Structure 1
């Protein structure tokens, strides 16, 4: 039985028309490896849970090893390829970790793309307002929802973004893969539709999620809004 993706509509501050709205997915579960394995063996497979987890681990190791060797990986589920980011001064310039970075790019494969037309949607009302993070712009490279430049200024656009800078629990947070959090300390502009700030200089490597936390006007509960895209230092 197919389940529907729940989505609601919120004001879109990235267009000139004040009536425009954008869709935000909500109340959708996140499935982990254990749950995927449970579904596999629940269909009557003769493979045990331990065997399935072992195979998945070996599969992931093989993919990582291929990328480490500089290869591209193309499967039915995804396409992965490394690339080099940053500006090179001339054709004799070489890779410098302080100015350049390696980025891992991930795109859906044929098998995933084929299911998009079969996904059911369910429109719901978003009854509890929360900050909406629509776009992250690295003003040094002009990249959008891809990368950031440590120590440089960046912009977040969306709605209901303004926060109380005096409250330690509110603000802009970069969240690493190990859940370590780095809070932005230098904010230039703090408005409901846009935040301008300096990216912490310490964020030189890794993959990060960006989250805005605030207590909305006349509210008491901390609300969180997260950019859907993951970002890397560029």
Structure 2
């Protein structure tokens, strides 16, 4: 099956003085969980028991994780990963409040080759599209999707402002068990169409979360009758 990515033309929120400057915003095909990936694999691998495949995938993930967290670099072909340390070491002592461990991921050879063969379809122009350009962790300055509990996160994009009277309007953090936490208003520090600054709550477990922005804001004169949402993946460290 050939790879195809689809995208919409949209005004570049960064270069506001150039009305002809366009970017391409991905048309999402949805989200895939590990369970759904294994279901797809089962359709292609006949005669293999589901529990065998599940065990193999779990073992594969565990060995990669343990290898990284014991100082190895890992090259799977899809990605190249290596661990590193963040923060200044005061007095020669590791401080979990100030220091952290980070795993750096880069595209591997196999993935780069497939990217080169991927077709891009431009669907047309969406003037009022909602999108995120980048997410910046104010603690570390990183823009790789990692976020730090208790610290600010800057989300830059277009039509992101939290506005509207519908009870669903707001910002949510959703874990992999679909348990969601709605951020209180006081944790939305900056609320602008092109930039949100939020504070990540403390007390959450580390791991991957879906950050959902739901709003009735529109660049036009009238608010949207029906709220729209945008999901981005973040990694709580």
Cα distance change on mapping 1:30 and 1:204 into 2, 3 Å: closer
For residues 49-86 of structure 1, give each alpha carbon's deviation from its aligned partner in whole angstroms, at most 9, with x where no partner exists: 43444433332232233234332221222222222223
Q: What displacement does 1:161 show?
A: 0.7
CA shift, 1:126, in A, is 6.0
Return closer, same or farther for 1:66/1:154 CA change in 2, 3 Å cut-off: closer
Does structure 2 conserve the Cα–Cα contact (< 8 Å) formed by 1:164 and 1:214? yes
C-alpha distance in 1, partners of 2:49/2:127?
A: 39
Alignment of 1:48-197 (within 5 A): 48-50=48-50, 51-89=52-90, 92-125=91-124, 129-164=128-163, 167-185=166-184, 186=186, 187-197=188-198
Ranges in structure 1 where 5+ consecutive residues have no aligned partner: 42-46
Q: Structure 2 vs 1, CA of residues 166 and 145 (structure 1 numbering), >3 Å: closer, same or farther?
A: farther
Aligned with 2:89: secondary structure? coil
Change (3 A) 1:49 1:29: farther
Q: Distance in 2 between matches of 1:72 and 1:162?
A: 40
* Contact 2:38 2:53 survives alignment (8 Å): no
Post-superposition offset of 1:119: 0.8
Which whole-Å CA distance do the structure 2 matches of 1:129 and 1:11 have between them? 9
Q: Distance in 2 between matches of 1:80 and 1:199?
A: 26
| Residue aligned with 1:196, SS | strand
How much has 1:30 moved relative to structure 2? 4.6
1:36 equivalent in structure 2: 41
| Secondary structure, counterpart of 1:34 in structure 2 | helix
Q: 1:215-226 counterparts in 2 under 5 A?
A: 215-217=216-218, 218-226=223-231
Quick one: structure 1 residues 205 and 125, their matched pair in 2 at CA, closer, same or farther if it must change by over 3 Å?
A: same
Q: What stretches of structure 2 of length at least 5 have no aligned partner? A: none
Partner Cα distance (2:103, 2:6) in 1? 29
Change (3 A) 1:54 1:192: same
- The 2-side partners of 1:129 and 1:65 are apart by 45
After superposing on structure 2, the runs of 4+ consecutive aligned residues of structure 1 that deviate more than 4 Å are 126-130, 165-168
Are 1:7 and 2:7 an aligned pair?
A: yes
Change (3 A) 1:201 1:19: farther
Distance 1:226 1:13 in 2: 19
Q: Secondary structure at the match of 1:38?
A: helix
User: Does the 8 Å CA contact 1:130/1:225 hold for their aligned counterparts?
Assistant: no
Deviation at 1:8, TM superposition (A): 1.1
Q: Do the aligned partners of residues 12 and 195 (structure 1) sit closer, same or farther apart at CA in structure 2, a change above 3 Å counting?
A: same
